[in-house]
Amino acid sequence: MKCYQCAKKGLDTEAVVICIICGMGLCMDHLFREELLVTDIIDWGLGGEKIEYPRTLPRFICEDCKVAIEQRKRG
């Protein structure tokens, strides 16, 4: 698979990841890596306790999806 962003510029670059949101193939120059927190809520019967685990989940996304996600954070 080729990098979609490079292909639009006429370049022939191999994709190394696929955007987890839209499925676009991306090379190292066009990917964005985000770390997602892994959390649980344990219900002890008198209320919940939120636990955040130390290890995160990697998520690779394209620039278009990154911009779309960040617009929610601004509002």
Partners of 36 in the β-ladder: 57
What is the tens place of the pLDDT at every residue in 42-72? 888 888 889 999 999 999 999 999 999 889 8
Number of H helices, E strands in the chain: 2, 6
Q: How far apart are CA 33 and CA 60, in angstroms?
A: 5
| For residue 73, pLDDT beyond 80 | no
CB contact at 8 A, 58 and 35: yes
Q: How far apart are CA 16 and CA 33, in angstroms?
A: 12
